[in-house]
Structure 1
Amino acid sequence: MSSLFKEVDYLRIPYADIKAATNNFDIVNMIGIYHSKNVNYYVYEGELFRSGKRINIIVERILGIQEVQLLEGVSVISRFKHNNIPTFVGFCYDKYLGGYLVSECEFMESLEQILNITPNPSIRKSEYRIRENLTCYHMLQICLGVARALSHIHDCHAIHGSFNSYKIFLDKDFEAKVVGLFENPEYFPLTRYTCYVDPESECLNIFLTPKSDVYSFGVVLIDVFCQQHAADQSWHYLEFPEIPEIEYTHFDDNIRKQMNSKARPFC
């Protein structure tokens, strides 16, 4: 544990700086929100004064996380250099205030909110990012960017482990950015229960693997191209949840038209 502290200590950012950067975690700055069984997850945008200049950042605020898990995640995240993963800046942890991951990034908006899967009035809406602007081409671009990010994560001998539409953000050019607490598989037993987790890991209660991320990616594809949630989330709150079946659904009518052979210019 002490060696892990030393390894990432240079990346620590004072809580006061993060609080100021997000305007005291103002709801106006909130761009994403997600609740799982044990963790509450919020994402904010802001500006941080760093190395003599002001940079645009996103802050992942994770309530309910243990310090060792956050530090293990930081040791992995700090290694990533990829266009579809925000550049990591630093972190903060307080046993009463939770964990915070800070990444450098320009304008971002949650894919989950863009698809309008579970509308949240607390999250501000962009005046130029609306669901109707999404074309088949944009969706393919988003999915390819996400796939490249996951491939890079796995090439670095890590996994995402809690991958879903809530952990995908888009910049102004619809380029996907994958966020989250990436970890080494050996430190990551199955502790999350969502419809994105592969049934084998959940049934056997085993450690998650890169294949688990691939399964989650498949569910995200359904979210994207059907523009609705792939499974019922109400089972999250049951004490002994059963694995939900993915609902039979259909492609959004506008996307279906764009995928038609007569509309190839859109794709």
Structure 2
Amino acid sequence: MGIVLSVSDLSFSYEQGEPVWSGISLDVHAGEVLSILGPNGTGKSTLMRCMAGLAVPDFGYVELDGCHIHEMSRKKAALAIAFVPQMHTPVFAFSAIDVVVMGRTAHLGAFASPSAHDYEVSLQAMASFGIADLAEKPYNKTSGGERQLILFARAIAQEARILLLDEPTSHLDFGNQVRTLEIISNLANRGLSVVMTTHFPDHALRYSKRTALISGGSLQGFGLTESVVTPESLTSLYGLEVEINTFKCGSRVCLARP
């Protein structure tokens, strides 16, 4: 699989203070799920925003199809990358379907209004997450989990080739977690590239071909998941003793030793 997005020697700090992290280099392949693991406060969300072109690093660069992302127009970048943040606070009482249709903005001409096709694509995206019945519900009246699924649907409606998902299961119940991760896996099987931050090593072990570990202001590991996500690396990453159990079905589960 070819490289569609690459991060080269990236460093970032707020207001010229201590770097959040530095020297981050990784790449994203077409048709893969790449997980990013790390403790709270290690800058995983900031890295995702830099990869989406929404935050400017102090040093290094992000390339999309060989072009520096911060030198691209927002429309061109949006046609390739969809970003779903960890949290989103609604301001206006848009309907859920109108929020999803906003994902079609990059496909519209200047001053153009969404077409019937744009609404059809958006409704199909909502249906894929089982939330078509929320279409007319005010977005600011939805629950945290519903809101997260609406934002996923918006990203799918955007029809980008790369999905950047910041903790995609953080507000979801167990059933919706599984359904969402299966959708993510199916999208990768169709050729889309997915990068997701997660606090669940189990999700990386099950769904990600490759995984990156971030801690202490730098990249602690990056490569094939089975080689990177190990009891030793997780023990070092989270500061507690971890073991990985493998069940007969092949699923692997991480457990903290008492």
Normalising by the residue count of structure 2, what TM-score does the alignment of the two structures yield? 0.29
Answer 1 or 2: which has greater strand percent.
2
Normalising by the residue count of structure 1, what TM-score does the alignment of the two structures yield? 0.28
Q: Using CA pairs under 8 Å that are at least 6 residues apart, name the structure with larger relative contact order, 1 or 2.
A: 2
